[in-house]
Structure 1
């Protein structure tokens, strides 16, 4: 059976570094963390979970709540979290809380009933007060893609505003001035952030914000179809569309195709998330990468630190990056 010493020798790091990765007691460089995780996987190392449970009254399980189990975005999050937690000797209990407050409250109660050691939550519907109350009652929790000021040390958030700004500024650099935006549901903070980034970029470029060029949708292909149809019916000219996630971009693309509007020759299109299918449509979709793997790694590191009552030393705010592909056309050279 592999030991910590075996893992340290395979990874080329000290046993103390291996222990820090496993227990999350302090920050370890990304390169060393990857080496340790690889060594754990290759050697099949498992912490003595039985001894740990007897010593700490823990179950060795982490609860995860996402709105839904289907689709490449949430499945990507679940895959990354489960893989990283399993390498550290934890099992996961996953529940889909649906897109309602009641459904997500029921998911929390389900996990508490299963006595999970901690929870990682990707939820927009549970109120700030409800989540703050859980933490005050001693529930170990980490929130991903959400920020609550009172729980700042429990949140791993994506800079959605910066991502929206990245996408819009890229379209501006490519010569577009009339840019439409398909937002997600504006009761969700990530959708509001991406819209704010869009607005900030166009106003910084000296362009007046036009509500007629904005259509609210629901982060799904079907809602992207509906939003794109609305934009075309309004007859406000535009040469580019920023869809605030890739699913809505796919829906918008289908509507443009039905109207025989070519992408990118007539309308340029950019999405957000960089899900797997984005690179395989024709033309491949320009998008903004949502750093799922990094977010998952930071969330796992943070939940271990919370459980061990050690210093919370993670990257709490992650920056998305632009992924240029062929769905955006340059209209003119901009100096």
Structure 2
């Protein structure tokens, strides 16, 4: 098996030069770099990653923590971060925070113990104070869809309140005043923000908030189905529904179909979306698009900037707004 010494002799350079090429450190001319690479290929030399880590004080790994491995949202997020990580020549290690602060804490600790070079975190349950404390000792990290004032230079953010307000405004402009809401769990900050946007839009139009027309769920299709059934059982009239996730919009349509309620002829529907599930429903559902892939790409790029990786321009912006995608699920009332 070839060694660094063998490669150095074949390329007619010092072992230190071969090490600099392997670890991408120090000053090496392009012609010398190519000569060393050619020698490694000819001799089928395979570097020892443990030795490289010790020499460079890096592991060439990036840790990504997401809430769950389930669902298209997180699949798209992982795929986009993977592209950035690949382009940096690094390896991605993924953990899931599941659904508690304890699980998120354990997932982050695991990645830190793996000695990752940097972290990209989609955190839902840990407090701002704990994240600030983690920042004091952890590798460089970026927060995706989270704003912490003391860590503002490492946050990729989205205005959920404004986005929800815009979605509900579409229904209001089409004459709807009885608008139900399939909300997330209101103990969660982002779910609370989406609900706040809904409430703000109603208040601006002098429409009283009726909590009987609000259900809470976990953003799944089942939650949307159960929520829609619950709305129907109240017996209260409504002409439109705002679903705070595309999965819940799909479940809502399942429940309406069972009850022979047509969208949009009988009830209009608008949703949040992130992976275009709304375009696979019939009719295609109007939605406020949450740009998860764009945000994940910018988050990965910002992290590479914090790690001072070459070839990555600093992102032009780190805050995102939603995009209304109007389709066929909202009917204009006379």
Q: TM-score band, normalised by the shorter chain?
A: 0.7 to 0.9
Per the alignment, do residues 211 and 278 of structure 1 end up closer, same or farther by CA in structure 2, a change over 3 Å counting?
same
Shift of 1:103: 1.7
Q: Which has the higher contact order (CA 8 A, sep 6+)?
A: 1
2:281 and 2:52 mapped to 1: Cα distance?
48
For residue 177 of structure 2, give the secondary structure of its aligned residue in structure 1.
coil
Q: How far off is 1:222 after superposition?
A: 1.2
Structure 1, unaligned stretches of length 5 or more? 1-49
Shift of 1:312: 7.1
Contact kept? 1:72, 1:276, Cα under 8 Å? no
Structure-2 residue corresponding to 1:326: 328
Find 1:317's aligned residue among 292, 316, 319. 319
Native 8 Å contact 1:270 1:328 kept in 2: yes
- CA deviation string 1:123-169 (max 9, x = no partner): 20122222111101243111111112222222111111111011100
Whole-Å separation in 1 of the counterparts to 2:79 and 2:239: 37
Does 2:103 align with 1:115? no
Alignment partners' CA distance in 2, 1:325 and 1:54: 55
CA apart distance, 1:84: 1.9
Write the mapping of 1:73-88 to structure 2, written as runs, cut at 5 A. 73-88=73-88
Residues 18-73 of structure 1, C-alpha deviations (whole Å, 9 max, x = no match)? xxxxxxxxxxxxxxxxxxxxxxxxxxxxxxxx899677511111100111112111
Q: TM-score, normalised by structure 2?
A: 0.80
**Corresponding residue number in structure 1 for 2:236:** 236
Task: Give the ranges of 4+ consecutive aligned residues of structure 1 lying more than 4 Å apart after TM superposition.
Answer: 50-56, 309-314
Question: Aligned to 2:273, what secondary structure does the other structure show?
Answer: coil
CA distance in 2, matches of 1:277, 1:315: 27
C-alpha displacement of 1:305: 2.0
The equivalent of 1:275 in structure 2 is 275
Q: Is the 8 A contact 2:269 2:285 kept in 1?
A: yes
Alpha-carbon distance between aligned partners in 2 of 1:59 and 1:323, rounded to the nearest angstrom: 42
How much has 1:90 moved relative to structure 2? Answer: 2.0
| Number of residue-to-residue matches in the alignment | 285
Equivalent pair of 2:164/2:194 in contact (CA under 8 Å): yes
Partner of 1:293: 293
Which aligned pairs between 1:1-335 and structure 2 lie closer than 5 A?
56-308=56-308, 314-332=316-334
State the SS of the aligned residue for 2:272. coil
Question: Would you say the 8 A contact 2:88–2:309 is kept in 1?
Answer: no
Unaligned regions of 5+ residues in structure 2, if any? Answer: 1-48
Structure-2 change in CA distance of 1:261 and 1:249 (3 Å): same
What secondary structure does 2:288 align onto? strand
Instruction: Determine the C-alpha separation between the residues in 2 that align with 1:306 and 1:230.
Output: 48
Q: 1:313 to 1:281 in 2, by over 3 A?
A: closer
Query: Do the aligned residues in 1 keep the contact of 2:178 with 2:240 (CA within 8 Å)?
Result: yes
How far 1:228 moved relative to its partner? Answer: 1.3
Inter-partner Cα distance in structure 2 for 1:206 and 1:52: 65
Distance in 2 (CA, whole Å) between partners of 1:150 and 1:55 is: 34
Cα displacement (A) at 1:308: 2.5
TM-score of the two chains, using structure 1 as the length reference:
0.80
| Larger Rg, first or second structure (1 or 2) | 2
Deviation at 1:293, TM superposition (A): 2.1
Query: What's the secondary structure of 1:269's corresponding residue?
Result: strand
Paired with 1:276 and 1:196, the residues of 2 have a C-alpha distance of 24
SS at match of 1:116: coil
